[in-house]
Amino acid sequence: MTSEVTAGVREGAYRPGMSASAVGPQLRRWRERRRLSQLELASRADVSTRHVSFVETGRSRPTPAMILRLAEHLDVPLRDRNALLVSGGFAPAYPEQPLTAPSMAVVNDAVNAVLEAHQPFPALVVDRQWNLVAANAAIYRLVSGASPALLEPPVNVIRLTLHPDGLAPRIVNLAEWRAHLLDRLGREYASSADEELATLREEVAAYPVGARERAEAGGGLVVPLRLRVGDDVLSLVSMTTVFGTPHEVTVSEIAIETFYPADAATARLLRRSAMDTPETVNGVSGGVP
């Protein structure tokens, strides 16, 4: 199953003659979001504080190299670096292609290799807004029984997990897992300034919470996902993997979420489940085509 990232700057967005003054306030907002002073940013980027000030106020027109230099030291996501360049009157610097594109074969193969190698344990791939990009068969077995409406592409993993018609009724430690996901959405929004993440967090935070879900969270080294499957309860811990030093928008935005058994009983249950015929979502058995 794939979910092509569609938002943001596209090829052809460059408009010659566009006012370069728009890029300054945007850079200032990113600096303030990172809680850096002009002096701190100037020191990191090895430019004068005066120049940073002139760029932010529009008194100096930054070159593409300077925009990218400041954006790198502000840890601006690649999609937003493209947006900064366009605001400055320049062409985007970073390409964006779907994972199914022939030029993305190496990335596509790497993703599928990780998903398949992780069997019989669950693993999935999400984009910047937590839309499902790909998953292995173990994931599809876990989400079986969720509302068909939540399984229609694009499948949003956060919504599927916390919605009352999704996995929420089967999550034994829902209060703990819900708090974990809401905190993660908040941190990702603070880092990326992606308004879709803020909207998603607001939506899922408004889902009704029952008395059971209000129970106090327990302690532990990591927050587990404790999911009821039939008469059994799986206890899973998750790990996030991203591509290092990406220079392409789609690659920079995907993350691989792998789940590992937190106890021997869960490992046995997952291995036993893998011997059955894999479940599918909408007839798709997992992976990137």
pLDDT for 266 beyond 50? yes
Domains 20-87 and 102-274 share a fold: no
DSSP character for 70?
H
Of the chain, the percentage scoring pLDDT greater than 90 comes to 79
pLDDT for 228 beyond 80? yes
**Could you tell me the residue ranges of all domains in the chain?**
20-87, 102-274
Q: In terms of CATH architecture, what is 102-274?
A: 2-Layer Sandwich (3.30)
**Average pLDDT estimate for 165-179:** 95
Exposed, middle or buried: residue 60 (CB in 10 Å: 0-12, 13-18, 19+)? middle
Q: CA 94, CA 147: separation in Å to the nearest integer?
A: 38
| pLDDT tens digit sequence for 72-118 | 999 999 999 999 999 999 999 999 999 999 999 999 999 999 999 99
H helical segments located in 118-239? 137-142, 157-162, 174-192, 195-205
Predicted confidence band at 282 (pLDDT cuts at 50, 70, 90)?
very low
Q: CA 191, CA 93: separation in Å to the nearest integer?
A: 21
pLDDT for 231 beyond 70? yes
Q: CA 125, CA 210: separation in Å to the nearest integer?
A: 30
**Average pLDDT estimate for 239-267:** 96
| pLDDT tens digit sequence for 191-227 | 999 999 999 999 999 998 765 554 444 556 788 999 9
pLDDT for 279 beyond 90? no
Q: Do 80 and 88 contact (CB within 8 A), yes or no?
A: no
Return mean pLDDT, the chain.
87
| pLDDT tens digit sequence for 26-53 | 999 999 999 999 999 999 999 999 999 9
Q: Tell me the two tokens of residue 199.
A: 């909207």
CATH class of the 20-87 domain in this structure: mainly alpha
Q: Do 85 and 18 contact (CB within 8 A), yes or no?
A: no
Strand partners, 171: 227
Q: Do 68 and 81 contact (CB within 8 A), yes or no?
A: yes
DSSP character for 278?
P
